[in-house]
Amino acid sequence: MTDTIPDLPVTRSCPFDPPDGAAEQRERGPVAQVRLPDDSTAWLVTGHAEARALLADPRVSSDRGRPGFPVPVAALARNRPTNMNATLIANDPPVHTRLRRMVIPSFTVRKIAALKPKIERIVTERLDAMIAAGPPADLLADFALPVPSTVICELLGVPYSDHEFFEEQSRRRLDADGDAILKLITYLHDLVAKKIENPGEGLLDDLIAEQLAEGRLDHDELATMGMVMLIAGHDTTANMISLGTMLLLSNPDQLAKVRADEAAVPAAVEELLRYLTIAGTLTRQATEDIELGDVTIKAGDGVLVASAIANREESDELDVEHPMRHHLAFGFGIHQCLGQNLARAELEIAFTQLFRRIPTLRLAVPVDEVPRRPMALLSGVTELPVTW
């Protein structure tokens, strides 16, 4: 029986599509078993309704320290850092609730709306520089990466002059031999120490003044939280800008609709998020028996939510005018992306300005020759050659 269980689908042959084997997995039902790299089995949730139900279920844990917590990619097991006790995504309530409450006020729709002029300025400056230097250009290095990197640095109060270091470590964080996460935590630890001595402006400084000083957060927790926001804040958005641009350039009819009416950009952003679902496999463990679909997930079983597959349940067509209402590109439930309002604002401003200012933008190489990142759980490119 066990040898009929397929491997967890993670490899994406096409950068725009869910992992290979998605269709076969869906045929096996909305919740079905898969085999993980360590030869254990877990449940893969591919149905949209089932995925939402599972992610909202209080009987699942996100605590990566639990025995038997599923490891979908082998490199993650080798590289599990020792001190991840303060990352939001690796914690359950009540610790998760305490940490999330400290940072959520900085990411509300209102707070992000107030940040938009700054994002506009950063996007304009990057485009000015890229246009002045090109064509051609590497859209990742010249635009898609520096924009969210600069924005998250300003928001957190991290010096952008250190961007090469943290971008490189962030890229290397899943390397088999890497100590990248440790280097990043040490960097944040030192930065927090400097800020305690010499306060500046930003979310880290606010957290020092309001939480650390009051004893509600310790130095390690703050460093780890800062690291997660720094990584999550630039890497995901950079991938969405690059892959989103690639996808639109590969679908001229859809791009024409975006260009025809800038008011259509927010809907297009939602559709790009759904279609690409770059963070497409979310990891949990059942803490109690859970009936889901037509199976019983036993307490202790690993559960992987295939959001990239679930988001294509309704349609495999890209349709920028009709985005799906409840897509899972930012997850769902208590761990739903902290930075989603920020990411949306960055994507809207980036695409609007990019296509307005460079109407003749096109890929400089065929789409299947764009170098891809090897990281299975987060799709993206390592370079995006464009010209105009």
Binding site for ligand HEM (CB under 6 A): 88-89, 100, 228-229, 232-233, 236-237, 240, 278-279, 282, 329-331, 335, 337-339, 342-343
First-residue to last-residue Cα distance in the chain: 55
User: 329, 308 in Cβ contact below 8 A?
Assistant: no
Q: How far apart are CA 251 and CA 266, in angstroms?
A: 18
Q: How far apart are CA 174 and CA 73, in angstroms?
A: 9
Q: How far apart are CA 247 and CA 144, in angstroms?
A: 14
User: 59, 364 in Cβ contact below 8 A?
Assistant: no
Closer residue to ligand HEM, CB minimum distance, 25 or 236: 236
Q: How far apart are CA 384 and CA 115, in angstroms?
A: 27
Closer residue to ligand HEM, CB minimum distance, 100 or 372: 100
Nearest distance, CB of residue 63 and ligand HEM, angstroms:
11
Q: Which residue's beta carbon is nearest to the bound ligand HEM?
A: 339
Closer residue to ligand HEM, CB minimum distance, 87 or 254: 87
User: 327, 274 in Cβ contact below 8 A?
Assistant: yes
Nearest distance, CB of residue 87 and ligand HEM, angstroms:
8
Closer residue to ligand HEM, CB minimum distance, 308 or 370: 308
Closer residue to ligand HEM, CB minimum distance, 15 or 339: 339
Give the H/E segment covering residue 245: helix 219-249
Q: Which pair of tokens denotes residue 352?
A: 């609007």
Q: How many CA atoms lie within 13 A of 147 on its CB side?
A: 36
Nearest distance, CB of residue 56 and ligand HEM, angstroms:
11
Nearest distance, CB of residue 264 and ligand HEM, angstroms:
19
What are the backbone dihedrals phi and psi of residue 137, each rounded to the nearest 5 degrees, phi first? -155, 160
Nearest distance, CB of residue 140 and ligand HEM, angstroms:
15
Closer residue to ligand HEM, CB minimum distance, 104 or 213: 104
Closer residue to ligand HEM, CB minimum distance, 71 or 282: 282
Q: Which pair of tokens denotes residue 56?
A: 């909202």
Three-state DSSP state, 81 = coil
Nearest distance, CB of residue 213 and ligand HEM, angstroms:
22
Q: Which pair of tokens denotes residue 344?
A: 């949306």
Closer residue to ligand HEM, CB minimum distance, 76 or 131: 76
User: Which amino acid belongs to residue 216?
Assistant: R
> What torsion do the CA atoms of 91, 337, 144, 22 make, to the nearest 10 degrees?
90
Nearest distance, CB of residue 259 and ligand HEM, angstroms:
21
Nearest distance, CB of residue 88 and ligand HEM, angstroms:
4
